[in-house]
Amino acid sequence: MLPESGFVVFAKRDCPTCELIEPVLQQLAARPSTRIISQDDPGFPTQVAGVIDDRELEQSFHHSIEIVPTLIRMEAGREAERTYGWDAAEWRRVTGISDLGKELPGFQPGCGSLSCAPGAEDHLRARYGDTGLQARKVALGEWDDPIEACFERGWSDGLPVVPPTDVRILRMLAGTRRKPDEVIGRIPPMLPECTVEKVAISAVMAGCKPEYLPVVLAVVEAALEPMFCMHGLLATTYFAGPIIVVNGPVTRKIGMNWGLNALGQGNRANLTIGRALQLLIRNYGGGRPGEVDRSALGSPGKLSFCFAEDETDAEWEPLSVSRGFSPGASTVTLFQGHGVEAFKDEKSRTPEELSKSMGLVLANCGHPRSNMPRAIFVLSPEHHAIYKAAGWDRQRITQALQDASTRPGSSIVAGLDGIPMGIPASRAAEPVAKLAPDGLMVVRAGGPAGLFSAILPGWGSKPDELTPITKEVRE
């Protein structure tokens, strides 16, 4: 028990200043109203009976100890004042012992408290403090493997998830200034109201770092926009899922990949940000494959499909700017799609040749005779270099691809070559666009070598029933 009135000293053996003042601690401990609390060794200071063992750091946490030694004067069960480090004059003033430590130097700074060691604070808050977390606690059996426990509860997308412990959730929430109880919206398909805290839990489980959380929150907000049609995207029998393109300084800050293998594996931010959204839909919204998710085949991108745009070419207008956001803004753009469909052309050398060639492949996506209102074209640096050399910008490239993917109606009439797919013969004289007029988003990404670009085909057959959504990332 700590004295109602008297002195408490927090110390640790592994602190040169605490060792220096060991005679002072011994002198103080000889008084009945003084207790010494040791953070690392209850045998320190020596020759003192009744040292309080605080290796679990509970007392240090409750007294908000930042430095050892810390001397606290208690009065009527409350802290009256404190001093820390060794400052002889202060210790003498606080204790009222005029010759305390007279053989010691007058001043020596203390050391950091073990309760403030990197990472300790979240553990201590989770164990002894008020976490403020509202989500229900799920107790595990003593011998349970937490990862297996998550599988057993149906919380996994098929890969192991990071178990959402209080410590991890608190650290994740430190990644945003937004309050844990702020309501983000209703998560499809079941539409329960969702808070920042529950998004953070999904981000933990997906493997995100705390600095990704603002991006994840923007992604969730975008997915909840009515015109994104997240419920339908989940429920469709088609392949598609949410594809996320991230723009702006945040991509560099959190180390996203827009270069080699940008659409593949190997980058934590790319792989976990999209997964956080999908886990939220699954666990919070209640949207599971085989239940509301009716995809006939699905696609690997439904685990996580997220990448950054390459903005290293100052002449290239970022996707975010083309969608009305300021240069320098960090954004997420969500698109309903799947892929990757390869575009391989190592022969074209002029922008006209390249555009016609790309249009041919675009026009064949899904089915050569069907429309595809929307798509992302991932333009690789080597293909872009051909356009750049000719002075073509985003708008000109986009228009050229729109034009090149428009087909003569006569070439896609139903029944041609014995294939029922196609348009009615009455439209044979029309040019038929593959894409909606605003349906193509060009995104620059990929490694420096390889005359390969990629098409990410969109979902839906009517141009106005859904749109991509862009949101700014808020810290």
The site for other proteins (CB under 8 A) is made up of 55-57, 114, 120, 123-124, 126-127, 133, 135-140, 146, 149-150, 155, 163-167, 169, 187, 189-190, 192, 194, 198, 201-202, 205, 226, 229, 231-233, 279, 283-286, 460-462, 465-466
Q: How far is the CB of 413 from other proteins (least distance, A)?
A: 17
Q: Which two tokens mark 280?
A: 């939220």
Q: How far is the CB of 289 from other proteins (least distance, A)?
A: 16
Place of tokens 């060691």: 117
Q: 172-175, long-range: CB within 8 Å, 24+ apart, which pairs?
A: 172/200, 172/201, 172/203, 172/204, 172/208, 172/210, 172/213, 173/197, 173/200, 173/210, 173/213, 174/210, 175/200, 175/209, 175/210, 175/211, 175/212, 175/213, 175/214
- How far is Cα 92 from Cα 107, in angstroms, rounded to an integer? 12
Q: CB-wise, 169 or 223, nearer to other proteins?
A: 169
Closest by Cα among 57, 47, 87, 63 to 8: 63
Reduced 3-state DSSP string for 25-83: HHHHHCCCCEEEEECCCCCCCCCCCCCEECCCCHHHHHCCCCEECEEEEEECCEEEEEE
- How far is Cα 341 from Cα 361, in angstroms, rounded to an integer? 9
Q: How far is the CB of 176 from other proteins (least distance, A)?
A: 17
- How far is Cα 167 from Cα 163, in angstroms, rounded to an integer? 10
Q: CB-wise, 115 or 270, nearer to other proteins?
A: 115
Q: CB-wise, 175 or 285, nearer to other proteins?
A: 285
Q: CB-wise, 228 or 377, nearer to other proteins?
A: 228
- Determine the 3-state secondary structure of 386 from DSSP: helix
* Contact call for residues 230 and 281 (beta carbons, < 8 A): yes
- How far is Cα 458 from Cα 433, in angstroms, rounded to an integer? 15
Q: CB-wise, 131 or 357, nearer to other proteins?
A: 131
Please, which residues bridge with residue 246 across strands? 308, 332
Q: At what angle do helices 120-128 and 166-173 cross, to 10 degrees?
A: 120
Q: How far is the CB of 440 from other proteins (least distance, A)?
A: 19
Q: How far is the CB of 464 from other proteins (least distance, A)?
A: 8
Q: CB-wise, 37 or 167, nearer to other proteins?
A: 167
Q: How far is the CB of 407 from other proteins (least distance, A)?
A: 19
Q: Which two tokens mark 414?
A: 């139903």
Give burial (CB, 10 Å; 0-12/13-18/19+) of 2: middle
Q: CB-wise, 20 or 126, nearer to other proteins?
A: 126
Pairing of strands 78-84, 70-75: antiparallel
Q: CB-wise, 57 or 433, nearer to other proteins?
A: 57
Q: How far is the CB of 323 from other proteins (least distance, A)?
A: 20
- How far is Cα 282 from Cα 234, in angstroms, rounded to an integer? 10
CA quadruple 420, 426, 432, 437: dihedral sign: negative
* Contact call for residues 125 and 60 (beta carbons, < 8 A): no
Q: CB-wise, 114 or 246, nearer to other proteins?
A: 114
Q: CB-wise, 156 or 357, nearer to other proteins?
A: 156
Q: How far is the CB of 198 from other proteins (least distance, A)?
A: 7
- How far is Cα 246 from Cα 154, in angstroms, rounded to an integer? 30
- How far is Cα 197 from Cα 207, in angstroms, rounded to an integer? 15
Please, which residues bridge with residue 452 across strands? 344
Q: How far is the CB of 166 from other proteins (least distance, A)?
A: 6
Q: CB-wise, 23 or 463, nearer to other proteins?
A: 463
Q: How far is the CB of 93 from other proteins (least distance, A)?
A: 33
Q: How far is the CB of 155 from other proteins (least distance, A)?
A: 6
